[in-house]
Chain A
Amino acid sequence: MSRPAETHPESGADEHAGTAPEAGAHASEALGAAELTPRILAAFERRLDSPGLGPDEDFFEQGGSSFTAALVTADLRKQGIALSIQDIFVAPTPQGLALRIQPLQKAL
């Protein structure tokens, strides 16, 4: 019963809205929420083995556990994204998590 992905207006908290997701690797700029969301979404989809998730879908409602949350954390850290396992529990949607961890990101 997964809902179709909805389009969302760019968040006001994101200074880099409009930049293509791949462009996040600009040497001097930290990733913004708009770049983080698709990366988080991809990690959720991979670890839940559930393609086609929407940016506002709840990780745990889609079958995630503390264990799979740990694996998502590891996947994202490997891409240089800073977060803790706890962040996924506090903000369990890709969009919500992106907004939560955006201030933690340092320039790559």
Chain B
Amino acid sequence: MPASTLLPEPPDTGTSPVLDLVAFPCAGSGSAALRGWRRLLPADWRFTPVCLPGREAGYGQPFAEDMERLADEIAAGLLARRATGPALPLVLFGHSMGGLIAQLVAHRVPARALFVAACPPPASRTPAEDDEVPPDHEELRREVAGVLRASAPDDAALLDELADLTAPILAADIGLLATYRAPEGPLDCDIWALYGDGDTVGALPWTAETTGTAHCRVLPGSHFFVQESPGAVVAELVRGLTPVSGGSA
């Protein structure tokens, strides 16, 4: 697949960029879930929300079926980008499944920092763990249907259309998640593990995954606090990265 779809070229920051932030959304999402960060981030950070194959601009492309191969491909894209542009400090962020992809990429491309959100450390994962699926599908469906009916009463097929659009992506990503294998050995960059206080996953630091510092922060919100409170997540990034960005915030 063309790298331009997977790693869209970030827009010109207008000023000299001080770091390169690459963010991976949770399962079932595309880059749209994180694109709103552009309004929140410091103007001199380059920002690339990754769009996994088969969705959004890549609609119709085959889904990624192997997380190692996907990480290889993303790493190759990042290395190619760094070969032609400034060698900015690379910071990787990933939400839930995206955190695991970000970790695999950090094992392939030297990163200054890794942020994982709603993503417990690999050693605490069980093979069958399925933290990407909302706990009660039917309840969620009823809730979405209720709001859609109230907001768009004339369009009865809207819920089915929305479900048909998102369900194949979620199913593909759950399949992708099953191919994750914890990488050998630790990273050497600092790792921030961010959690929602209302999530069912335990707030554990990624201590075993790095020889650097493993930070752990708990923010208000559910498993989806990244979407619920983007400002709070960006504030954690800005605070944690001040030494890297030179205090640009």
Please give the residue numbers on chain A whose beta carbons come within 8 Å of chain B beta carbons, in ascending order: 1, 58, 60-67, 70-71, 73-75, 77-78, 84-86, 89-90, 92
Contacts and interface: CB of A to CB of B under 8 A. Distances in A.
A86 B165 contact: yes
Contact of B38 (A61, A73, A78, A90): A61
A62 B152 CA distance: 21
Contacts of A58: 35
Interface string B190-204: 000000000000000
If over half of B's interface residues share one DSSP class (helix, strand or loop), that class is named, otherwise mixed; here it is helix
Given A66-B162, A74-B155, A92 B148 contact: no
B152 A60 contact: no
Interface of B: 30-33, 35-36, 38-39, 55-57, 59, 144, 147-148, 151-152, 154-155, 158, 161-162, 165-166, 227
Given A60-B32, A85-B162, A78 B56 contact: no
A71 B152 contact: yes
A61 B151 contact: no
Interface of A is mostly: helix
Nearest to A70: B162
A75 B152 contact: yes
Contact of B57 (A1, A64, A66, A90): A90
A74 B152 contact: yes
A74 B31 CA distance: 23
A64 B32 contact: yes
Contact of B151 (A62, A71, A89): A71
B202 to A, nearest CB: 28
A66 B162 CA distance: 8
Given A74-B151, A74-B152, A75-B152, A67 B162 contact: yes
Given A70-B152, A70-B162, 6 more contacts: A61-B38, A66-B166, A70-B158, A75-B152, A90-B57, A92-B32
A84 B165 CA distance: 10
